[in-house]
Chains A and B, each alone.
Chain A
Amino acid sequence: MSSRPIRFAMISALLVLPLAACGDAEDSASGGDTYIVYFTGDYSGAVSANNASIDAGIKLAAEELNAKGGIDGKKIVVETANDQNDPTKAVSLLQQRLAKGTKPDLVYPGSSSAVSLSLLPILTRQKIISVGGTVSGLLNDPAKFPYHFGISSPGKDYAPALIKIAQEKGYQKIGMLYANDATGQSSAAIYKAAVEAAGMTFVEARFESTALDMTSQLNQLKAESPDALVLNGYGTAALYAMRSRAQIGWDIPTYCDQLSSGYPYLKNLREDELQNVNVVISTVTLATSERHPGLDAFIAKVKAGPAGKEITTTGWGLYATGHDSLALASYAAQQAKSTDPDKVKAAMESLAKPTGTPPWFYAGPKGDLVSFSYSATNHFPTTSESTFQYVGPGGYSTEGFYTSGKA
């Protein structure tokens, strides 16, 4: 018997199968009595520790909401996918998942902006609500990605904390040392705009990822006599910058950007190498800040869970990112009285501020530190002047609170 028809059938099936995932939103609907949360993240690669914290937060929120009857009467089921922080793999896994027929009701679209950006066109086509903690400005495009909402503050929200200090101290010229890559350039553009808008002068120097020393770049900046320095970079880049700064004896007031602030400097540098260095931190993560009434119980559950040991590395904030994503989606569904994506989207864009304590932790006990006042043109949260503040370098306590001076 000729094998050509069989081959033809197999090839046709292979061609049709992926296309099935690209169908219209009306092709299928999510399960009747379950609310499916699809979390795609890096479970085995470089950012798996961060991913484990977000994963734990989502699962704790699901547990908490299921105990109260779920979302719109539906039981929450959390599905996970290991995309290894690879956009191509994330797209492939999502398409495989969608090919199964039932759509997720909510997607947490990855641990990096690159992964989120790769998934959003599919999620938009499928009309699936997504809430994520990735912060690239490209994600805040309601015209292009109408069903995506950010849960974390974008990079530009960190700059006002610097401007506030600069104005208080009377700085006239701000220098910035940053990585010559997409992240560094994006951060520099944000700070340049903020500094110049405040009437100050901005000077800059860049470093390559291959740099083992930054004394040349810092000497170049020093020659411009800035009043303060902003630093971008993570890992060895941040360490080389700090050590080179100390080597040339330049104890200029130094303010780390969002990326650079996350690095545990005290584990690798001496205190005298960090003289006049400040990191920007969410006010809510400081041990001295007023606590959300549910936070202590949440932290206790986090610590008792399988990802509990990561709390001293990531702080409780990253667990809250996962938790708050689901809490926010649940609140919007409650407002919409439905889990229909169009109704939830409409509810999100006119979200009423919760009365009393909000069901999410990261906005603080009064819900005023981060505001989810989304609109048809802005799908990212807004912050106030007190959302972020500069403190001395430190680390996270066993409860996940940031403590200056603690390694």
Chain B
Amino acid sequence: MTTVWAGLATGAIYSLVAIGYNVVLLASGTFNFAHAQLLMIGTFLAYTGAVTLGLPVVPAVLLAAAGVGALALLEERTAIRPLLGRSDAHGALITTVGAATILDGLAAALWGRQPLTVPSGLPDRPLELLGGTVRPVDLVLIGLTLLVGVGLHLWSRHSLIGLASLASAEDRDAASARGINVRLLGVGAFVLAGLIAGAFGLLVGARTYAVFNLGHALALFGFVAIAIGGAGSQLGGLIGGFATGLIYAFAARYVGEAYPQLVVFAVFLLILFLRPRGLFGTALERRV
């Protein structure tokens, strides 16, 4: 059961990255490759709030959320906005990779290259639960990720703004003609994704430490998570992340400690071959 808890806790982080990818993808049609780096910056801001400034948990979380939200807004204005309206749809992919590189460098320059311990404010002793051991911070991380993932899924299906996002994702021009402010939706999506990433900085950092190159591994497995779950599906991203974490943990424990990454990518390829839209993605009809 310890392997299950470990897989779920790591999977929760992959789910958070996938959720961030999907929020932006749904509302603005852009794949933000820098989202994992925003989560990484969130861990550092949480460290700054909780350790450097000595703030209690709630203000530290708010500081990290506001900081990363502002950074995401800056990214949208500088890396995405100038490219809107261009015929080359791949430009934004390149600029978000550039933003990711800048954020890596910025974190290393500001906070250094050594890992920093982020205190979660929760007891740190592992608990015995359902026959396995798990740290309280991991339980909270798993629970809150589920809550945010399911909440965003329901919001995107049942609220007016959520439905407008879906419409915008499907056809920006048609959505715009129907009076939806697609630009504002795009900006809002970046800020929302940043706020969520920042708010989770404390919990993620308590598990991974705040370290400047954290984004690399998270980006890779976050991408696998949305490919498994289905791009554009919040529920799919959530389940894809947990599935990736569990597959990795079980492969490391039972298949062979040298092969977890290979097993994860084998599953990823299998899903691409058998169900290219992912487990929860929907096929789009297109007249040709």
User: Which residues of A line the B interface, CB within 8 A?
Assistant: 46, 180, 205-213, 215-217, 219-220, 235-236, 239, 244, 246-249, 267-270
In the complex, B10 has a CB within 8 A of chain A: yes
Chain B residues with CB under 8 A of A209: 217
Closest to B108 in A: A46
The docked-state distance in angstroms from the alpha carbon of A205 to that of B113 is: 27
CA distance A239 to B114 in the complex (A): 11
State which of B154-162, B163-171, B249-257 sits at the interface with chain A.
B249-257
22 A-B pairs with C-beta separation under 8 A: A206-B258, A207-B257, A210-B216, A210-B220, A210-B221, A211-B252, A212-B10, A212-B208, A213-B249, A215-B6, A216-B249, A216-B253, A217-B253, A235-B114, A235-B115, A236-B211, A244-B6, A247-B2, A247-B134, A249-B126, A249-B133, A268-B209
A210 to B14 alpha-carbon distance, docked (Å): 12
Q: Does B35 contact A (CB under 8 A)?
A: no
Chain B 92-110 interface mask (CB, 8 Å, partner A; 1/0): 0000000000000000000
Complex CA distance for A249 and B216, rounded to whole angstroms: 30
Interface string of B1-37 (1 = CB under 8 A from A): 0110010011001000000000000000000000000
Bound complex: CA A212 to CA B260 (Å)? 12
Instruction: Please give the distance in Å from A50's CB to the nearest CB on chain B.
Output: 12
- Complex Cα gap A211–B214 (Å): 11
Most buried by B among A46, A210, A268: A210
Q: Is B277 an interface residue (CB 8 A)?
A: no
Residues in A whose Cβ lies below 8 Å from that of B257: 205-207, 216-217, 220
Q: Is B117 an interface residue (CB 8 A)?
A: yes
A207 to B133, CA, bound (A): 20
In Å, the complex CA distance between A217 and B253 comes to: 6
Q: Which residues from chain B contact A208 at a C-beta distance below 8 Å?
A: 260-261
Q: Is the CB of A212 within 8 A of B13?
A: yes
Give the complex CA separation of A191 and B117 in angstroms.
31
- Which are the 3 A-B pairs with shortest beta-carbon distances? A216-B252, A216-B253, A210-B217
A270 to chain B: closest residue by CB: B124
Cβ contact within 8 Å between B135 and A247? yes
| Cross-chain contact of A268 among B2, B117, B220 (Cβ < 8 A) | B117
Does the CB pair B250–A216 fall under 8 Å?
Answer: yes
At the interface, yes or no: B172 with Cβ under 8 Å from chain A? no
B153 within 8 A of A: no
CA distance A257 to B181 in the complex (A): 59
Q: Are B207 and A212 in contact (CB under 8 A)?
A: yes
**B interface secondary structure, majority:** helix
Give Cα A352 to B162, complex, Å: 81
Q: A215-B2, A235-B211, A268-B117 are in contact. Are A248 and B253 (CB under 8 A)?
A: no
Determine the chain A residues whose CB is within 8 A of the CB of B216 once the complex forms: 210
Chain B interface (Cβ < 8 Å from any Cβ of A) = 2-3, 6, 9-10, 13, 113-117, 124, 126, 133-135, 207-209, 211, 214, 216-217, 220-221, 249-250, 252-253, 257-258, 260-261
Bound Cα distance from A270 to B2, whole angstroms: 21
In the complex, what residues of A have CB within 8 A of residue B211's CB?
Answer: 235-236
Report chain A residues within 8 Å CB of B253: 216-217, 219-220
Shortest Cβ distance from A246 into B: residue: B126
The reply to whether A268 and B115 form a contact with Cβ atoms under 8 Å apart is yes
* Residue in chain B with minimal CB distance to A209: B217
Q: Across the interface, which residues of B come within 8 angstroms of A211, CB to CB?
A: 252, 260
Shortest Cβ gap from A202 to chain B (Å): 15
Instruction: Point out the residues of chain A lying under 8 angstroms from B221, CB to CB.
Output: 210
Q: Are A216 and B3 in contact (CB under 8 A)?
A: yes
A148–B260 alpha-carbon span in the complex (Å): 41
Q: Is the CB of A210 within 8 A of B2?
A: no
Contacts A207-B257, A220-B252, A249-B133: A212 and B217 contacting too (C-beta < 8 A)? yes
A219-B253, A220-B252 given; A180·B258 CB < 8 A: yes
CB-CB under 8 A from B217, the residues of chain A are 209-210, 212
Query: Which residue of B9, B116, B126 has the most chain A CB atoms within 10 A of its CB atom?
Result: B126
Task: Check A239–B6 contact: CB distance below 8 A.
Answer: no
Tell me the nearest residue of chain B to A237, going by C-beta.
B115
Chain B residues with Cβ below 8 Å from A180 are 258
- Kindly list chain A residues whose C-beta atoms are within 8 Å of the C-beta of B9: 213
Q: Is the CB of A247 within 8 A of B220?
A: no
With A247-B2, A247-B133, A248-B133 already in contact, the answer to whether A213 and B258 are too (CB < 8 A) is no
For A248, what are the chain B residues with a Cβ–Cβ distance below 8 Å? Answer: 2, 133
Most chain A beta-carbon neighbours within 10 Å: one of B113, B117, B257: B257
In the bound assembly, the distance between CA atoms of A206 and B261 in angstroms comes to 12
Whether the pair B115, A239 counts as a contact (CB closer than 8 A) is yes
Given A215-B2, A216-B253, A249-B126, 9 additional A-B pairs, CB 8 A: A46-B113, A206-B258, A210-B216, A212-B217, A215-B6, A215-B249, A216-B257, A247-B134, A268-B209
Cα separation A246 to B126 with both chains bound (whole Å): 8
Shortest distance between the CB of B69 and any CB in chain A (Å): 25
